[in-house]
A and B are shown apart, each in its own frame.
Chain A
Amino acid sequence: MRCLLIVFITLLCCSPVLATETDPCIECHRQKTPAAVLQWQQSAHVGAGVGCADCHGSDHERLLSKEDMVDAAVCGKCHQDEFAEHTGSRHGMGLHAGWGCTRNLAGRDPAECRFCHEEGSTLPVSKVQCARFLKQSSEMGALGCNRCHQVENNCASCHSNHLTDARISEDPKICAKCHMGPDHPQWEMWETSLHGTLYYSAGPEVGPSCQNCHMSSGTHDVSIGLTSPPSMKPYPQEQQLQQRQAMIAICSQCHAPEFANRELSAADIIRQQSLDIIKQAVDVVQDINDRNLLDPKPSDRPAHPLRGHELVTDGQMLYEDYSHLERLLFKMKKYSLAKTVKGAYHQNPAYTHWYGNAELKMDLVDIRSEASRLKQGAGESSVDGKGANKPSIDDALKILKKKFERGAISQQEYDSAKKVLMQKYLESSE
């Protein structure tokens, strides 16, 4: 009996080794892709009896033509809960939002078809809608956009291709490969916050990592507790409240709920103050556009990939083929706003203040100053439009209408301002 038990335990221990030796792919791939084979041999997949063909399929032709790729859905066959959490989260959304084909854009690179289509097929495999992506060369799109935004359909983004060691995906550094840089420096602001510094000095048991707060209890839904989308405009009240309660529950693992609520509420206020500053800047840019003073004018530029020749100041704003004034606004929205707001929620004073808030306010000074320069260049006064060359009645009516249409003035204000303009016109000599 004792002998039988020893034989059983020995066989159990050797079974992964036996499994690797019986997989028909191994013999060749040990030579062709040795790292992949080695990593797989060290992974939990071996012990679970998951061989190469279980994920990659067995049709070599389709594999070589990349028709059979290991996407998130392949992993989801076994890891159903994780797949469901991932696809429902912000990571699962990626850039998919329903986009337009670029085939009719002037000067577009035919090679970029492969972002959305299998070769020879007109069926879209992706629904990306991002103006900045559509402006990229194929090479820049592949490396500069998709290397991060593939996360929606690629578990390997965080887990690596063949390793299954949880230490890889539980290390906050795995988040850093995307969540860093001028537009969303969450890595840097965590690393230099009290949370991050404690993580490094006192250890993971004391300082929380990205995963502790955003993937609490091992969830793959990274959106839990977030109260606004990337645009920073808060969700509706009910949704905000629900999300906030979820985040406070996470914070409460270490902090008093009242403390967490107070800190997060302060960040909410900073977010709103920052959005107000952005609105002031957008109003200035739109006003200058109403006066046809942007240089170049939207009508004189290459068409925006999604909106044509209209002024775009929202999330689809480009950082090329536009005016200096818009360049200042882009930097303000994309960099300074993100640093202020994300800095506040990540409890990083320097990011919130100096990299963020101070830059936001200085950006607004720059934008106002540039707008003033443009008005003066056109002969208008920078203060009240009473300069040497007042806008003609035509232009004044058009500016007023644009202001009304974009909600900058109410119907009553519009009617009354128009009435004043028209009375002046009718009372003037022809």
Chain B
Amino acid sequence: MFPYRTVVSKILLIFILLLLASCAVVPPVSKLPEQYTLTRLDKVSSVSKIAWHPDSQQYAVSSGGLVVGRIDGPIHRVHSIEPAAIAWSPTGSLLAISDPDQEQSKIRILATDDWRVLAEIELPGQVRDLAWRDDEQLVLASVHLSYYSFGGNYKVQLYHWRQNEELVSATIVDSSPLKSTLDSLGKQIYDTVNLQISPFRDEVAFTRYSLTPNAGNHYRLVVRNLDTGRERVVAKITNETNGGHYFGDGDSLFYTDGYRQSLAKTIWDTAPYEAYPAGLNLEISPGGRYKLIDRQLFKDRNADFSFDRIDSAAFSPDGSKMLFITDGILYLLTGLKDIQPERLPISQRLLDLRRWRSEELITPQEFINYVEQMENQ
């Protein structure tokens, strides 16, 4: 008699083993240097946004709603809206989220002690970039798109929102792309701004798309002083990169030109730049010691190790950790030893000097001289 039972049970066993093997978590790095530790935190959406709390212990991600967690604890879903942008206020007591619809976006400010909604505002266009200037003022970039027979109008509006005060706005991008340009960019056009606020919270870096019918499409990395509205074009880039990332000194940016090299460069060209391999998605630790170029981690100026894949990542404000998402799983990398950013404490005098430099009332060299004079005083 054929041993049906034995064969079936063996087949079932093999099937179960295969099933278990496929579910097992394969670490997204084949050889992790021993000074680092990798911890699997939770399942999240692959396209989640990550935002660190200023204390470097908590974080928020968008995954089927707004999810917050501690690095040593479980995650909690605290709000039903799955935000397109998340930003903790400088003290961490508030958290701003954006919920863009087709034509407009709802911005909510939540109290982080009980997650109640403190304020809400609706803005035209899609808001996918948020940053806090201080605990009372939010800076938002909204992308507006209008379609016409010949193409469309692509406009980015920068808003300053202070509760109970009139909204202040400025147009920072305004161009008229051809229909073919709009078709090729698709929904990517809403994620084009890449707004980053400086450590001094007095200026922002963003990507400016100039989509013109006659002169072609151009992409620029721009720095804009929030008080004066004066801008400086830092570099030509491509449309596939994720913008500029501030060094902790507030005077340099880490960005990629998208095809040739990644650069660590001073905004006002006051020092030689450092070149790194090209990439598309970059991150930098606050002290600037660690740089992530796509899936490769650089320590100081050298390649340290590579992840198998990274969908998105964020260094903690203290520079000791990095959260990243790979294939819908949130990981925590610890053991980083960042350096302290070389910068003066934020003072009104320093902000004045930075503002005057943006308005070209003082030259970049005069700025350096006056900062040195302040340090010596």
Give A contacts to B, CB under 8 Å.
393-394, 397-398, 401, 418, 422, 425-426, 430
Contacts and interface: CB of A to CB of B under 8 A. Distances in A.
Given A397-B361, A398-B361, A418-B362, A426 B373 contact: yes
B370 A397 contact: no
B170 to A, nearest CB: 15
B349 A397 contact: no
Contact of A426 (B348, B359, B361, B374): B374
A321 to B, nearest CB: 25
Interface in B139-175: none
Contacts of B374: 426
Contacts of B348: 430
Given A397-B356, A397-B361, A401-B361, A422 B347 contact: no
A12 B370 CA distance: 96
22 contacts: A393-B352, A394-B352, A394-B356, A394-B361, A397-B356, A397-B361, A398-B359, A398-B361, A401-B360, A418-B362, A418-B366, A422-B362, A422-B366, A422-B370, A425-B352, A426-B370, A426-B373, A426-B374, A426-B377, A430-B347, A430-B348, A430-B349
Interface residues of B, number: 14
Nearest to A422: B370
Interface of A: prevailing SS: helix
Contacts, number: 25
Nearest to A426: B373
A422 B348 CA distance: 15
A425 B347 CA distance: 14
Interface in B43-91: none
Contacts of A426: 349, 370, 373-374, 377
A422 B370 CA distance: 8
A422 B365 CA distance: 14
A401 B373 CA distance: 22
Contacts of A401: 360-361
Interface in B357-377: 359-362, 366, 370, 373-374, 377
Nearest to A393: B352
A297 B366 CA distance: 31
Instruction: Return the 7 tightest CB-CB contacts between A and B, nearest first.
Output: A397-B361, A430-B349, A401-B361, A426-B373, A430-B348, A397-B356, A422-B370
Contacts of A425: 352
A393 B362 CA distance: 12
Contacts of A422: 362, 366, 370
B55 to A, nearest CB: 29
A430 B344 CA distance: 15
Given A394-B356, A397-B356, 14 more contacts: A393-B352, A394-B352, A394-B361, A397-B361, A397-B362, A398-B359, A418-B362, A418-B366, A422-B366, A425-B352, A426-B374, A430-B347, A430-B348, A430-B349
